[in-house]
Structure 1
Amino acid sequence: MPFHVSSPPSGDAVELVAHLIQMALTPVFLLSAIGTLLGLFNTRLARVSDHMEHITELLDADTSGSDKARLTSQLSRLKSRTLMLDASIALGAIGGASTCGAAFALFLGGVRNTQVAGWLFTLFGVALGCAVFSLIAFLGDSLLAWHGLHRDGAMPRPPKA
């Protein structure tokens, strides 16, 4: 079934304008959400990087064997978190670029009165898929952080019933 961007759901002019506004706003909201997530991911990555730098400084200082093992374990976990956050940022950026591509395809379809359904489906699908996988990678970072807090004793475990 071909998709024409410029054809309204019905012949009414008000419905045409409402349809065009709806199509134009969908990518904008997704792009805004992805931009917010990218800001969150970057802030979290900066904090993890600062923590890694601090632990590296502590390791470079003279530390006892048990402290050195604990710090090395923390550094390893922080490296894993960095990889998760890097993946979140990369996937979010690809999702944002795909959203911009979908908006551009909508624009071209409206201006040139062409069929852009394949491009829209692909670009918007990539954008949504990357956003989902970006959030999954962020969840991985969150689980690593939570596990690390429990393992290091920073958060007490709930009492057993």
Structure 2
Amino acid sequence: MEGPYLSTVSETIQAAIAPVFLLAGIGAFLNTMVGRLARIVDRARSIEELHPRSSGPEHERHVWELRIIDRRISVINNAIFLCTASALAICLVVALMFVSRLANLHVGIWVAVAFIISMLLLISGLIYFLIEVRMSLRAIHVREELLELDR
């Protein structure tokens, strides 16, 4: 049996460049999301340390913030899951491109479907990311008494 021609492999690598760049971009997004998750967890831990020693309005503020943090953790975890699934689908696209080319299979429809699924997963992950960013912006409030607005 004759192996694949170098030109066939070279052409397949050239065709796979775009999905590989997309994979690199998804990796950058994942890095950003994991960084946000780490900061959220750090904030939760710092509030959890203060929580038992607080009382009155300060205690209520800690409970309110912990609830928001808990929701943010869930949302960012969903974003990370969806973007990781998108990256896996892109890997499947690249693998299918090589299998198709080297084995002379006609799986173009499956490559297209895997790419569309990847894009849908990425869109969903980015929407969750946007929701988490909006949640964090709503949660950031400087207490009015610290602003001294009545002066």
Structure ranking higher in helix proportion:
2
- TM tier, smaller: 0.7 to 0.9
Quick one: which amino acid aligns to residue 126 of structure 2? Answer: L
Q: Partner residue of 1:27?
A: 19
Offset at residue 152 of structure 1 (A): 5.1
1:122 matched to 2:110:
no
In 2, Cα distance between equivalents of 1:49 and 1:148: 15
Aligned length: 139
Unmatched segments (≥5 aa) in structure 1: 1-12, 157-161
Q: Partner residue of 1:144?
A: 135
Deviations 1:89-117 (A, max 9, x none): 00011001000000000010110111112
1:82 matched to 2:73:
yes
Quick one: which amino acid aligns to residue 99 of structure 1? Answer: I
TM-score w.r.t. length of structure 2: 0.84
Percent of residue pairs identical: 27
In 2, Cα distance between equivalents of 1:106 and 1:135: 26
Quick one: which amino acid aligns to residue 78 of structure 1? Answer: I
Q: From 79, 84, 94, give the equivalent of 1:103.
A: 94
Q: Is the 8 A contact 2:85 2:118 kept in 1?
A: yes
Quick one: which amino acid aligns to residue 41 of structure 1? Answer: M
Q: Any residues of structure 2 matched to 1:51-66 within 5 Å, and which?
A: 51-61=43-53, 63-66=54-57
Q: From 32, 37, 45, give the equivalent of 2:37.
A: 45
In 1, Cα distance between equivalents of 2:142 and 2:132: 15
Q: Is the 8 A contact 2:12 2:97 kept in 1?
A: no
Q: Partner residue of 1:7?
A: none
Q: Partner residue of 2:3?
A: none
Q: Which runs of 4+ in 1 moved over 6 A?
A: 16-19
Q: Is the 8 A contact 2:68 2:139 kept in 1?
A: yes
Offset at residue 122 of structure 1 (A): 1.7
SS in 1 for 2:63: helix
In 2, Cα distance between equivalents of 1:111 and 1:137: 38
Offset at residue 118 of structure 1 (A): 2.2
Q: Partner residue of 1:8?
A: none
Unmatched segments (≥5 aa) in structure 2: 1-6
In 1, Cα distance between equivalents of 2:91 and 2:34: 20
In 2, Cα distance between equivalents of 1:128 and 1:137: 14
